[in-house]
């Protein structure tokens, strides 16, 4: 028993050391690639970074960590899996945030997004480190522990946005979202609406293209549990729907106009299903800030029902808490090369 306890203690110590190493490495370098010397996908990621860096003045030099050359390589890879839910290499961080593996980085490079990320990486990393330091100070006063590497656990934001923890892109991997505000505190002059119309990847891209929409965030709303994760929402036990938080300027784009985009993304007369996605997390929903806005949405629903001769299933509520999804789900399709510019009309292709 003593030997077993000693082994367990040693494993825990090694895991803690690996976690600390990953966190400190990510915090110290604007670009980090956790790699293996023989891995072709790692080479792909490095080449994509090098290609994008050619167009960026003073692009940060990637800090390469070859796990197969380290004695603690297996422990570091396990630490990365705990942090990002990616169990394979490469694992690439830009500005303190994981951006995925070889295919992900290559797609970002092709779309031009990686250049923008590299330009902003030093500033983004400084902001992430400052936020992590503030979080640690707050935690030391008894309000909770900071997440490793500056990643933050899910917070509920009433209509607001908070930084999301990293996560996998599949329902199979558990992870935490970001605490929310409810849909009741828009910035001055702006309005906020939460739209649920199936998988939030395509919904976010559709609204991001709309002129007058100043901010979109994928997340969860409408359920009873706090700090939901993608996997828990996919499991259906939380009661949350996948939604997109849309902050818009009503002087440029009205709620009526946004409802047209919403209706184009799904059939609001079908309950708990959009295409091949089935479950309460894919339900049709519009969560607004005021009773007047809710009345406007109900009037829209009545017109749709009358036109289609079917009842509209859209859930319409006010003041619903919103939880920002994990960072890996934010701008998911844009990161993979689909156009998000205002007014774009290219077909939105949904894929995992």
CB within 8 A of 280, min separation 6: which ones? 236, 239, 241, 272
Phi, psi (degrees; rounded to nearest 5) at 141:
-90, 5
CA of 225: how far to CAs of 178, 179, 180, 183, 221, in Å?
Answer: 12, 11, 12, 17, 9
Identify which of 245, 201, 244, 217 has the alpha carbon closest to the alpha carbon of residue 349.
Answer: 201
CA of 131: how far to CAs of 21, 134, 159, in Å?
Answer: 19, 5, 20
Q: Which of 39, 42, 199, 234 is catalytic?
A: 199
Rg (CA), the chain: 21
Tell me the three state secondary structure of residue 167: coil
CB within 8 A of 11, min separation 6: which ones? none
Identify which of 254, 274, 275 has the alpha carbon closest to the alpha carbon of residue 196.
Answer: 274
CB within 8 A of 16, min separation 6: which ones? none
The verdict on whether 39 is a catalytic residue reads no
Identify which of 31, 155, 139 has the alpha carbon closest to the alpha carbon of residue 91.
Answer: 31
Tell me the catalytic residues.
Answer: 199
């Amino acid at each position: 028993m003593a030997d077993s306890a000693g082994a367990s203690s040693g494993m825990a110590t090694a895991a803690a050391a690996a976690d600390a190493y990953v966190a400190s490495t990510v915090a110290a370098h604007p670009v980090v690639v956790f790699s293996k010397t023989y891995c072709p996908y790692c080479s792909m990621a490095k080449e994509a970074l090098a290609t994008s860096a050619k167009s960026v003045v003073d692009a940060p030099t990637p800090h390469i960590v070859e796990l197969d050359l380290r004695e603690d390589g297996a422990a570091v890879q396990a630490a990365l899996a705990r942090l990002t839910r990616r169990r394979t290499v490469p694992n690439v961080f830009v500005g303190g945030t994981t951006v995925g593996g070889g295919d992900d980085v290559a797609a970002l490079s092709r779309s031009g997004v990686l250049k923008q990320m590299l330009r902003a990486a030093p500033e983004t990393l400084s902001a992430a480190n400052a936020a992590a330091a503030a979080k640690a100070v707050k935690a030391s006063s008894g309000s909770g522990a900071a997440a490793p590497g500056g990643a933050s656990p899910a917070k509920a934001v009433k209509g607001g946005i908070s930084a999301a923890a990293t996560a996998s892109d599949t329902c199979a991997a558990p992870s935490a979202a970001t605490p929310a505000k409810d849909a009741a505190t828009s910035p001055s002059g702006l309005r906020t609406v939460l739209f649920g119309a199936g998988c939030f990847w395509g919904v976010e891209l559709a609204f991001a293209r709309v002129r007058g929409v100043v901010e979109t965030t994928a997340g969860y709303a409408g359920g009873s549990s706090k700090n939901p994760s993608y996997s828990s929402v996919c499991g259906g036990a939380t009661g949350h729907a996948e939604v997109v938080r849309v902050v818009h300027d009503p002087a440029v784009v009205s709620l009526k106009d946004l409802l047209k985009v919403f209706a184009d993304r799904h059939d609001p007369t079908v309950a708990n299903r959009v295409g091949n996605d089935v479950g309460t997390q894919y339900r049709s929903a519009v969560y607004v800030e005021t009773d007047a806005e809710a009345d406007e949405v109900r009037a829209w629903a009545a017109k749709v029902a009358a036109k289609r001769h079917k009842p509209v299933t859209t859930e319409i509520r006010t003041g619903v808490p919103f939880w920002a999804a994990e960072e890996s789900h934010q701008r998911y399709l844009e990161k993979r090369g689909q156009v998000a510019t205002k007014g774009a009309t290219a077909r939105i292709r949904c894929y995992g």
